[in-house]
């Protein structure tokens, strides 16, 4: 099992746009082979958005990368996001 976790801090006024981008990415991911779960969550206290992807393997995630990125290719992340962290989590 492989987990991809993205933490995004939207720029002021960009919450909806950032969430929309993340949800389009998740929709594309769910259509890819090996995707177990892909969803977007909001921390109500901080306003941070979390993208969680659970994959059968790291290779399945890598193979899906182009399709997922094409879903958000026209998004201007400099406008949408103030800070972004991406975490790769490998099952032990």
Rounded Cα distance, 45 and 76, in Å:
25
pLDDT at 92: 87
Strands (E), 1-92: 2-10, 35-42, 49-55, 81-90
Say how far apart CA 6 and CA 38 lie, in whole Å.
Answer: 11
Give the pLDDT score at 91: 87
Determine how many CB atoms are found less than 10 A away from the CB of residue 43: 11
Could you tell me the pLDDT band of residue 21, with boundaries at 50, 70 and 90? very high
pLDDT tens, position by position, 29-75? 999 999 999 999 999 999 999 999 999 999 999 999 999 999 999 99
Q: Does domain 2-90 have CATH number 3.30.70.100?
A: yes
Residue-level pLDDT at 47: 95
């Amino acid at each position: 099992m492989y987990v991809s976790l993205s933490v995004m801090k939207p720029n002021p006024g960009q919450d909806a746009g950032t969430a929309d981008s993340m949800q389009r990415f998740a929709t594309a991911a769910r259509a890819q082979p090996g995707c177990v779960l892909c969803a977007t969550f909001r921390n109500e206290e901080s306003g941070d958005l979390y993208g969680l992807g659970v994959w059968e393997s790291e290779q399945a995630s890598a193979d899906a990368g182009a399709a997922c990125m094409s879903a958000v290719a026209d998004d201007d992340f400099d406008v949408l996001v103030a800070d972004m962290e991406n975490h790769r989590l490998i099952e032990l």
